[in-house]
Amino acid sequence: MSLLVVGSIALDSVETPFGSTADALGGSAVFFSCAACLLQPVQMVGVVGQDYPFDALQRLAERGVDLTGVERRPGESFRWKGKYSYDLQNRETLDTRLGVFAEFVPRIPEAFREARYVFLGNIDPELQLGVLDQVRQASFVACDTMNYWINGKRDVLLELLRHIDLLMVNDAEARELSGDWNVYRAARWILERGPRMVVIKQGVYGAVLVNDGRVFYVPAFPLEEVFDPTGAGDAFAGGFMGHLARTDDQSPANLRRAMVYGAAMGSFAVERFSTQRFDEIGAAEVTARVREFGDLVQFDIGPGHER
Ligand code: AMP
């Protein structure tokens, strides 16, 4: 089934305790697509300036990402600069230069308007609503956001929640949106405002899916080497949505599988700087890691307690 992503296409400069990058490939639509295209072709919508290394994006096209919806406009590309703490748990935004992203109004190409699975990356919720006006038959819409919009455009964001199936946010965003520090109460608060389900990502502590009064937890993959957490959330979304679109199955069991594909892709994202790890892996590595998740959480309740 067709899979559409709308989001930022950035040049990231990142500092971690293990090194740094400058003007590397980044942005929510890029990380999402790098992960999702390992599972399912992707239709990407975003904007870049004339300084963007378009040949790097072209490599994504070779892997099944349709770039018809990527506009090239006069001006500078969106640039984001961040620095991570020693334990990689916190990051500080050092600089955000919007460039052509400031004027971004997503125009969904005619050929993408039939998309059945849609991911709205972190952009202005008014623009996210504008995307939904252009897609005709989405059967599953997922959406990300950030504290900037939670505080600055709360009413529009609440309106958006009424039109989506899944809100995928991190724990800090869930707390900020709901005003509740407990992530499970925050999830319930969000579900009462429209979405059928919510995914709350908790970085190194994994992620939870809450829907129909049930909670499913997927751990973060136990990696000994983590270089750059940037894009883990978007790669998670790419794995989750890529699996759902590929299978076109929204059953509870398959949503749980999608969570594991999400966690697997998130774990690949952090193993190298920028999107580099996705240049090295293919379907076999993805399947192998998903299998390893099986081992990670499988347990036997012991004699006398089986159902
Ligand atoms: P994540 O680590 O999953 O939260 O995503 C990080 C990505 O989001 C980076 O590649 C940034 O380029 C991008 N990003 C950072 N700030 C913004 C913003 N204000 N709007 C859109 N994308 C952003």
Pairing of β 65-73 and β 78-84? unpaired
Give residue 93's pLDDT. Answer: 94
Distance from Cα 171 to the centre of ligand 1, integer Å: 16
Distance CA 165, CA 163 (A): 7
Residue 121 pLDDT level (bands cut at 50, 70, 90): very high
Q: Mutate which of 8, 34, 200 to test ligand 1's pocket (most atoms within 8 Å of Cβ)?
A: 8
Position 213 confidence tier, pLDDT thresholds 50, 70, 90: confident
12 lines ligand 1 (CB under 6 A): yes
Structure-block tokens of residue 153: 């455009």
State the average pLDDT over residues 259-279: 97
**What's 219's DSSP letter?**
P
pLDDT at 307 over 80: no
Which of 34, 122, 123, 145 has the most ligand 1 atoms within 8 A of CB, as the residue to mutate? Answer: 122
Return the closest-CA partner of residue 212 out of 244, 145, 165.
Answer: 165
Cα 213 off chain centre by: 24
How many residues make up the chain in this entry? 307
pLDDT of residue 145: 97
User: Quick check: CB of 28 below 6 Å from ligand 1?
Assistant: yes
Domain ranges across the chain: 3-297
**Band (135; pLDDT cuts 50, 70, 90):** very high
Tell me what pLDDT residue 183 has: 95
Q: What does the pLDDT read at residue 305? A: 84
pLDDT at 118 over 80: yes
Tell me, using a 6 A CB cutoff, whether residue 21 lines ligand 1.
no
Q: What is the pLDDT of residue 75?
A: 97
Å from CA of 28 to ligand 1 middle: 6
Ligand 1 midpoint to CA 231 (Å): 7
Assign 176 a pLDDT band (cuts: 50, 70, 90). Answer: very high
For domain 3-297, the CATH architecture is 3-Layer(aba) Sandwich (3.40)
Q: How far apart are CA 69 and CA 52, in angstroms?
A: 15
What is the best residue among 5, 48, 80 to mutate for testing ligand 1's pocket, by most ligand atoms within 8 Å of CB? Answer: 80
What 3-state DSSP class applies to 170?
Answer: strand
Arithmetic mean of pLDDT, 232-238: 98
In angstroms, what is the span from residue 252 Cα to ligand 1's centroid?
A: 30
For residue 120 and ligand 1, the question of a CB distance below 6 A is answered with no
Mean pLDDT lowest among 17-21, 75-79, 284-288 = 17-21
With residue 297 as reference, give the H or E element that holds it: helix 283-297
Judged against a pLDDT cut of 90, whether residue 89 lies above it is answered with no
Of all residues in the chain, what percent carry a pLDDT higher than 70?
Answer: 100
Average of per-residue pLDDT values in the chain: 96
| Residue 139 φ/ψ, nearest 5 degrees | -100, -10
Asked if the model's pLDDT at residue 128 lies above 90, the reply is yes
pLDDT tens-digit map of 270-296: 999 999 999 999 999 999 999 999 999
**39 CB-contact burial (10 Å; exposed 0-12 / middle 13-18 / buried 19+):** buried
Percent of the chain with pLDDT over 90: 93
27 lines ligand 1 (CB under 6 A): yes
- Ligand 1 centroid to Cα of residue 253, in Å, is 30
10 close to ligand 1 (CB < 6 Angstrom): yes
Report the nearest atom of ligand 1 relative to the CA of 79: 12
